Amino acid sequence: MFRLDGKVVVVTGGARGQGAAEVAALREAGATVIATDVLAGDGVRHLDVRDPDGWASLAASLDRVDALINNAGVAGRERLPNVDLANWDRTFAINVTGPMLGIQALVPLMPAGSSIVNVCSVAAVSGHVAAAYTASKWALRGLTRTASLELGPRGIRVNAVLPGLIETPLMANASPAFRGAALAEIPLGRTGTVDDVAGLMVFLVSDAAAYITGAEIVVDGGLTGHVSHKGIADAIAPPA
């Protein structure tokens, strides 16, 4: 049901971490995957998602695209009011403008039934102290909604995946204080793995998701399922 044989999928940020896991899962399901990144990697095509010419070159090299996964992203962790403008602009250029350019470049190659998945974050549904990152992911969520509206008549589905704390290179750079405090808020009691996200990508690209568009699917172990009340709930919980 989730086989992707014959489908051509473009994945940005595919050289490592969550993107690499998505590439592997999509290929295992039968897709032909074009993995792109600014980082070098085995079988990875160089693409800076901020570069319109790079996107145009990629599009010119393909006859058809059945799915685009906008996975590339950076974490702008500076807190207000101490946000550097250059870092703010870079975060938005990669996290928001990049996906928009990808949609512009590849939609003309997409037949009805195609799928676009934008990788947002749980930061896109609440307030987080990383100002640029949070604002950019809210913007990407908005782009997803608009794209689902505009591209629906073409038969192209557009959805957002909102990962929580996933063990990736981005998470590896988080401080121990952040990790400890955040972990205490996750009902499942663990951080996620890249495979927790990759399987969802296979589903959203597959024909099994043919009537799902404009959706925002969280993969967060329950982090956004409460309003920071987990500590209270734990304190008054009856003995196991």
Give the C-alpha separation, 64 to 86, whole Å. 36
Which pLDDT value is given to residue 71?
Answer: 98
pLDDT tops 70 at residue 232: no
More confident residue, 178 or 190: 190
How much is the pTM?
0.94
Which pLDDT value is given to residue 230?
Answer: 76
Which pLDDT value is given to residue 239?
Answer: 82
The 10s digit of each residue's pLDDT in 146-184 is 999 999 999 999 999 999 999 988 778 777 887 888 888
Could you list the active site residues? 133
The 10s digit of each residue's pLDDT in 107-155 is 999 999 999 999 999 999 988 889 999 999 999 999 999 999 999 999 9
DSSP readout, 10-70?
A: EESS-SSHHHHHHHHHHHHTT-EEEEEESS--TTEEE--TT-HHHHHHHHHT-S--SEEEE
- pLDDT band for 103, please (50, 70, 90 cuts): very high
